[in-house]
Amino acid sequence: MLLLGIIGLAGSGKTTYAKGKKFETYSFLSPVETICAYILGEKLEKDKTYEVCLEGIGLDFTSNEGVNLTMNPGALTKCTGRELLQYVGTDYIVKHYGKHFHKRVWVSMLMTKVYANTTENIVTVDDVMYQHEVDVLDTLTLIVTDGVKPLGHKSEKLASKMTKAFRNGTFAKKYPNVKVVYNREIKGKIYWSDCSFYPKEGELFIEETELRYDIKGNNN
């Protein structure tokens, strides 16, 4: 089985790109989204603002039946759904279980789910964030989108470094085995562009371009 990973800044279009590949798609954060839905009592929306008692969240990974969630009363904190995902998926785990546990917990859950449920030869993982996640993949594609900037959370550190390298012309040297898809804004329209680099000079050239949507939201 081949695992095709997709990395990029929040809002760059990773999930959209994965859907376009038409392979079965999985996410490292899928169990985190489920936990967040239980915390909120509703399906999480990444851009919606919630009031949550972050310090009251308790996660127990010792049960053979899955993750046990407890919620204790306390002061409420306003956060977006995306920020809650980042807190539960990274900050909480590192704080209460340590960095080494964080490096394996979501990866282990994803790999178990993939091998238990799929019969496909190729699957995509649409939310790669960390190097320890990259290490279990067979290929990696970076999505770069004009107008999308990092939010500043540690989960975007690797994507930020890769995006910066793409922008300043050092990508081919630093990440020779990573593919790039560039969403360029041209006269108010966004285009998907598969990118490659000349082997010696590392100079970027565009292989293929496809109109995605205009800035007013008219999809193609």
What is the amino acid identity at position 135? Answer: D
Are 114 and 9 in contact by the 8 Å Cβ rule? The answer is no
Tokens representing 123 are: 């699957």
Residue pLDDT tens, the chain, 220 long: 899 999 999 989 898 888 888 899 999 999 999 999 999 999 999 999 999 999 999 999 987 767 899 999 889 999 999 999 999 999 999 999 999 999 999 999 999 999 999 888 999 999 999 999 999 999 999 999 888 999 889 999 999 999 999 988 888 889 989 999 888 777 777 677 777 664 444 455 555 555 454 444 444 3
Question: Which sign does the torsion angle of CA 125, 10, 36, 130 carry?
Answer: positive
Q: What is the pTM of this model?
A: 0.83
Are 134 and 140 in contact by the 8 Å Cβ rule? The answer is yes
